[in-house]
A and B are shown apart, each in its own frame.
Chain A
Amino acid sequence: MSLDRAQQLEMFRRMLRIRLFEEAIIAHYPVGHLSIGQEGAIAGACMALRDDDYVTGTHRSHGHPIGKGAEIDPLMAEIFGKRTGICKGLGGSMHLTDTKLGLIGESAIVGGGFPLATGAGLSAQVRGSGQVSLCFFGDGAVNQGTFSESVNMGAVWKLPVVYFCENNGYAVTTPVEKSHGQPEIARRADGYGIPGVVVDGQDAEAVYAVTLEAVERARAGEGPTLIEAKTYRFDEHSNRLAIPIEYRSKEEIEHHRNERDPITLYRAVLQARDLLSEVEAIEEEVRKTIDDAVEFAKASPEPEMSDLWDSMYVNPIGMQAGAEGL
């Protein structure tokens, strides 16, 4: 099934929201790990999901809720650490989680999301809810034990999970070929008896198509799929990390920025389909959404110490704010 016009424009909107959200971060509150360059992989995958499908993410967390369609104001306020933030200012840049859209945590422990996504798939299977769980992770996370442990459990129990690798080529500074005995990540699927698929992560519609196929397999009870989307991170691993070595060449970075920008590529596709005026309207709309979100975040109050205590337990049994000795 291909995307209709409204869905194509929505996918473009989500990609652009990720890009401009992060450009606003660079301009106004320079923290965190940016997804600029990886928007096609993220939005393409999310467009294949239902609103009630589950998503787990990573420390590079901004794109996942935006890709799933989350409201921008609470995400921007979270970046600023404000009380109106989606996580009340307690989670921050690496943990933008909006549970209203099925996000169940962005793990800044690399590989921490594999078991959570697998458990959400188990839950969907036990409850017979028809939901699917999609696990975003990077190429570096594949070398954590939780990848092997969790994908194996997903395969053994035929859980409705899509393991989606945003392979941007580098685990911080270490290239895939220097950290993987066998650098084709999709081929790891063979070890668990599940399909492994490679897709161009800069081609959002191609990502959508392979993800949809995996989602449909999962929903039909046929178990997990491993997708490797080949993408590229335009900026540094982290905004605040000054990396003294040149681990990737300027030519390589410029090539991706100039020739392989997923937003430029998709804009050209939509223009060729006579959707330029719609695209321009979206560009104006998204700029305003982001500007408004920055104003909202700046004007929002700081969280209180009591918010920390109030977020600890559902049922604190004496372990609340002001409890003596705690």
Chain B
Amino acid sequence: MTMRNATQKLSYLQAIVEAQREEMRRDERVILMGEDIAVYGAQTLFDEFDEKRLRNTPISENSFVGVGVGAALTGLRPIVDLTIASFCYLASDQIINQAAKLRFMTGAQLAVPLVVRTSTFYNNRTAAQHADRPYPLFMNTPGLKVLAPSNATDAKGLLKAAIRDDDPVVVFEDINLWGKKEEVPTDEDFLVPIGKAAVRREGGDLTIVSIAGCLPHALSAAEALAKDGIEAEVIDLRTIVPLDKETILASVAKTGRLVIADNSHKVGSVASEIAAVVSEEGFESLKKPIQRVAAPQVHVPYNAALEKQLFVSKDRIIEAVRAIA
């Protein structure tokens, strides 16, 4: 048993591996499947678990996600590593038509305790077919839960909560955060609750809602703005579905101004949904129009200098704040 409150310094990627290790130790129904899983961070799991529970899959994204669904229906709690988020489209039939719908379509006879892990590979010079951040697609799919952790502690605590959850969960991991290290709780029962956003910085002048890898940029923008006397409250969304409207609306009620930082494409984005919710349910609080800082409606280019300009940065957030300050 590890001590409560004990921590160890882990990177975001190491925290994901530790979450899987702890849950595989805790529950023999947990298995891990994916392409070349030994390469992508999980190699140390092979020292501890056998090939029965660690399945290196053929390149068959739609079917190996569906195999995970079938296993989830029949007594296992599979984690399927879908590696690169742009591959979600290949597997979207099994995620949307099967995982998300089977409980409903059978009148709640079935449950699908499945976790699909996938990484957003933007700002990595991989061009448009590897660089998508497709979480809005799954936000628009009833029946799923969708997570987007922004630091090692949440990556571990949310993934563990997802593995223990009885519904299908899609976790978007952000490769721009992979190397970021911090002290992470070692308690095997440390969980981050699904559906709760975190206030990372308090402030009374405006609210910045940040999604996944936007957080470091949101925090550095807030620090810069503070030097000019603008105190930003920074909310780390952490869970996309269910959306923690309460935390967002409470903050906007206090500040009256909202900037949303979202690296998905702007049209129909998570930022769009948050803006709609605040307009519907918090309109009286708003002193100025809501600002969305998101990727424009063009594809991700290979060229690194151009690619960088598409995504959320400290400067783009500051510019959006200035527009409504």
- Measured CB to CB, the residues of A under 8 A from B are 54, 56, 85-91, 95, 97-99, 104-105, 107, 109, 112, 114-127, 129, 133, 145-146, 149-150, 152-153, 156-157, 307-308, 310-319, 324-325
B242 touches A317 (CB 8 A): yes
Picked from B72, B195, B245, the residue with its CB within 8 Å of the CB of A119 is B72
Name the residue of chain B whose CB is nearest to the CB of A119. Answer: B70
Q: Which of B10-18, B73-81, B124-132, B297-305 touches A?
A: B73-81
Determine if A150 and B63 form an interchain contact, defined as CB atoms under 8 angstroms apart: yes
Residues of B within 8 A of A114 (CB): 63, 66
Across-interface contacts of A107 in B (CB, < 8 A): 97-98
User: A325 touches which one: B69, B71, B277 (CB < 8 A)?
Assistant: B277
Given contacts A90-B105, A116-B66, A311-B103, 13 further A-B contacts (CB under 8 A): A95-B105, A99-B109, A105-B106, A119-B74, A122-B55, A122-B70, A123-B73, A145-B60, A146-B66, A149-B63, A153-B63, A311-B107, A315-B165
Contact B167 A153 (CB under 8 A): no
**Chain B neighbourhood of A116, CB < 8 A:** 66, 69-70, 73, 98
Residues of B within 8 Å of A312, CB to CB, are 103-104, 142-143
Is A85 in contact with B107, judged by CB distance below 8 angstroms?
yes
If the complex has contacts A116-B69, A123-B76, are A313 and B167 also in contact, measured as CB distance less than 8 A?
yes
- B106 and A126 form a contact (CB under 8 A): no
Q: CB-defined interface of B57-90 with A at 8 Å, one 1/0 digit per residue?
A: 1101011111111111111101000000000000
Q: Which residues on the A side are within 8 Å of B67 (C-beta)?
A: 115, 118-119, 122, 150, 153
Q: Is the CB of B98 within 8 A of A314?
A: no
B281 and A123 within 8 A (CB): no
Complex Cα distance, B95 from A109, in Å, reads: 13
Could you tell me the distance between the alpha carbons of A145 and B90 in the complex, rounded to whole angstroms? 11
Enumerate chain B residues within 8 angstroms of A311, measured Cβ to Cβ.
103-104, 107-108
Among A115, A117, A129, A316, point to the contact of B62 (Cβ < 8 A): A115
**A–B Cβ pairs within 8 angstroms, 16 of them:** A90-B104, A115-B66, A115-B94, A116-B69, A118-B63, A118-B67, A119-B70, A120-B73, A124-B74, A150-B60, A311-B104, A313-B103, A313-B167, A314-B167, A315-B166, A325-B277
Which residue numbers of B lie inside 8 Å of A, CB to CB?
29, 31, 52-53, 55, 57-58, 60, 62-76, 78, 93-94, 97-98, 102-111, 113, 142-143, 145, 165-167, 194-195, 241-242, 245, 277, 280-281
Given A127-B75, A315-B166, A87 contacting B64 (CB threshold 8 A): no
Closest CB of chain B to A45's CB: distance in Å? Answer: 18
Q: Distance in Å from the Cβ of B78 to the closest Cβ of chain A? A: 8
Query: Do A89 and B66 touch across chains, with their CB atoms under 8 A apart?
Result: no
Check B108–A109 contact: CB distance below 8 A.
no
Q: How far is the CB of A90 from chain B (nearest CB, A)?
A: 5
Shortest beta-carbon distance, B225 to chain A, in Å?
30
The minimal Cβ–Cβ distance linking B63 to chain A, given in whole angstroms, is: 3
CA distance A312 to B107 in the complex (A): 9
B178: min CB distance to chain A, Å: 28
Chain B contact residues: helix, strand, loop or mixed: mixed
Measured in the bound complex, the distance between the Cα atoms of B142 and A133 in whole Å is: 28
Query: Do the beta carbons of B62 and A119 come within 8 Å of each other?
Result: no
In angstroms, Cα B67 to Cα A311, docked, is 23
Chain A residues within 8 Å of B107, by CB: 85-91, 307, 311
Q: Are A318 and B242 in contact (CB under 8 A)?
A: yes
Supposing A115-B63, A118-B67 touch, asked if A315 and B105 sit within 8 A by C-beta, the answer is no
Instruction: Report how far A62 CA is from B57 CA in the complex, Å.
Output: 33
A310 cross-chain contacts in B, Cβ below 8 A: 108
The reply to whether B106 and A99 contact each other, CB–CB distance below 8 Å, is yes
Cβ-defined contact, B167 with A315, below 8 A: yes
**A122 x B60 contact (CB < 8 A):** no
| Cross-interface CB contact of B109 among A87, A129, A313, cutoff 8 Å | A87
How many Å from the CB of A46 to the closest CB on chain B? Answer: 18
CA distance A283 to B102 in the complex (A): 35
The distance in angstroms between the C-alpha atoms of A56 and B142, with both chains bound, is: 23
Complex: how many Å from CA A120 to CA B241?
A: 28
Among A119, A153, A157, contact of B60 (Cβ-Cβ < 8 Å): A153
Residues of chain B contacted by A118 (CB below 8 angstroms)? 63, 66-67, 70
- Bound CA span A310–B108, Å: 8
Given A87-B106, A311-B104, residue A150 in contact with residue B66 (CB < 8 A):
yes
Q: Which residues of A sit under 8 angstroms from B31, Cβ to Cβ?
A: 126
Q: Contact check: which of B52, B64, B108 meets A88 at CB < 8 Å?
A: B108
Instruction: Kindly state the separation between the CA atoms of A144 and B111 in the bound complex, as whole angstroms.
Output: 26
Chain A residues contacting B281 (CB-CB under 8 Å) are: 324-325
When C-beta atoms are compared, the residue in chain B nearest to A131 turns out to be B74
Please indicate the chain A residues that have their CB under 8 angstroms from the CB of B78 in the complex: 119
A126 to B93, CA, bound (A): 25
On whether the beta carbons of B280 and A325 are closer than 8 Å, the reply is: yes
Interface centre among B62, B107, B165, by most A CB within 10 Å?
B107
The minimal Cβ–Cβ distance linking B127 to chain A, given in whole angstroms, is 24
Q: State the Cβ distance, A124 to closest chain B Cβ, in Å.
A: 7
Residues of B contacting A133 in the complex (Cβ-Cβ under 8 angstroms):
70
Q: Which 6 A-B pairs have the closest CB atoms?
A: A119-B70, A115-B66, A88-B107, A149-B63, A149-B60, A314-B166
Measured CB to CB, the nearest residue on chain A to B96 is: A109
Closest to A124 in B: B74
Contact indicator A105/B73 (Cβ below 8 Å): yes
A198 and B113 alpha carbons, distance in the complex (Å): 37
Chain B residue, CB-CB nearest to A303: B107
Give A324 to B278 CA distance when docked, in angstroms: 12
How near does chain B come to A61, taking the closest CB pair, in angstroms? 11
CB distance from B241 to the nearest CB of A (A): 8
Interface pair B58/A153, CB less than 8 Å apart:
yes
* Min C-beta distance of B189 to chain A, whole Å: 17
User: Chain B residue with minimal CB distance to A122?
Assistant: B71
Contacts of B68 in A (CB 8 A): 119
